[in-house]
Structure 1
Amino acid sequence: MSNPELIVIMTTFPDLNIANNIAKILVEEKLAACVQVMPSMTSTYIWEGKTCQESEHLVLIKTMASLYESLSARLSSLHPYEVPEIIAIPAIAVEQNYLLWAKSIFGDSLE
């Protein structure tokens, strides 16, 4: 086991096409090694004092901790929500070959 500083960022989107388009942008701009868009789910939350239930898509973004600020800023600029969920979860262990592949995506941006 290694501590690779790989993180998984969770966010949600109201629309599948928006989620897929933003996923492609983050990967093409080398802010993410991989982005997974999950099928529809229901989110229940409080917004402006009211209980809301909406259909959303969970998105998991794999990146390096050193890229969090850049990715978060870019994601916020693209996101349709006024207050997007952007939560980073550290990976306590990552299979070595996957980690090497992920790092190879970012090249010089990790230095």
Structure 2
Amino acid sequence: MMDQPVLIYTLFGSGAEAKQVAGILIKEKLVACANHLAPASSQYVWKGETCEEQEYPVLLKTMASRTDAAMARLKALHSYDVPAILSWSADKCDPDYGRWLSGQVADN
């Protein structure tokens, strides 16, 4: 099976943490880039309490071969007890972008 692009989505409690963690993942070649999205209002139940917080969503781009390592490292770096870390494969990708993406996360 051919390696294909994967998107990883997560949220952080601060923009500073989002940038710090994304920078580490990029430096370690686990992801090629990070898109920092506008702050979001999140509603959820945590330990029996309804919460509403401002969070900072980030969309990370990597390849399927690096996804498990990227998600494990993201979880280890994340300050949340149970961070939302979701991934999905990109069914289609511009070939030039795919080559760039793959080159950024290559082990060499």
TM-score, normalised via structure 2 length: 0.93
Residue aligning to 1:28: 27
Residue aligning to 1:49: 48
- Deviation track 1:22-70 (CA, whole Å, cap 9, x = no partner) reads 1110001000011111121100111112211000011000001111111
Q: Are the counterparts in 1 of residues 66 and 105 from structure 2 also a CA contact under 8 Å?
A: no
Distance 1:40 1:77 in 2: 23
Task: After the TM superposition, list the runs of 4 or more consecutive aligned residues in structure 1 that deviate by more than 3 angstroms.
Answer: none
Shift of the 32–71 alpha-carbon distance from structure 1 to 2, 3 Å rule, reads same
1:9 pairs with 2:8: yes
Q: Are the counterparts in 2 of residues 9 and 88 from structure 1 also a CA contact under 8 Å?
A: yes
Residue aligning to 1:69: 68
Q: Which runs of 5+ in 1 are unaligned?
A: none
Q: How many residues align?
A: 107
The alignment partner of 1:107 has SS state of coil
Structure 2 letter corresponding to 1:95: D
Quick check: 80-89 or 42-51, which moved more? 42-51
The alignment partner of 1:31 has SS state of coil
Q: Are the counterparts in 2 of residues 9 and 87 from structure 1 also a CA contact under 8 Å?
A: yes
- Offset, 1:108: 3.4
Residue aligning to 2:18: 19
Q: Are the counterparts in 1 of residues 12 and 55 from structure 2 also a CA contact under 8 Å?
A: yes
**Percent identical across equivalent pairs?**
37
Distance 1:50 1:107 in 2: 43
The alignment partner of 1:82 has SS state of coil
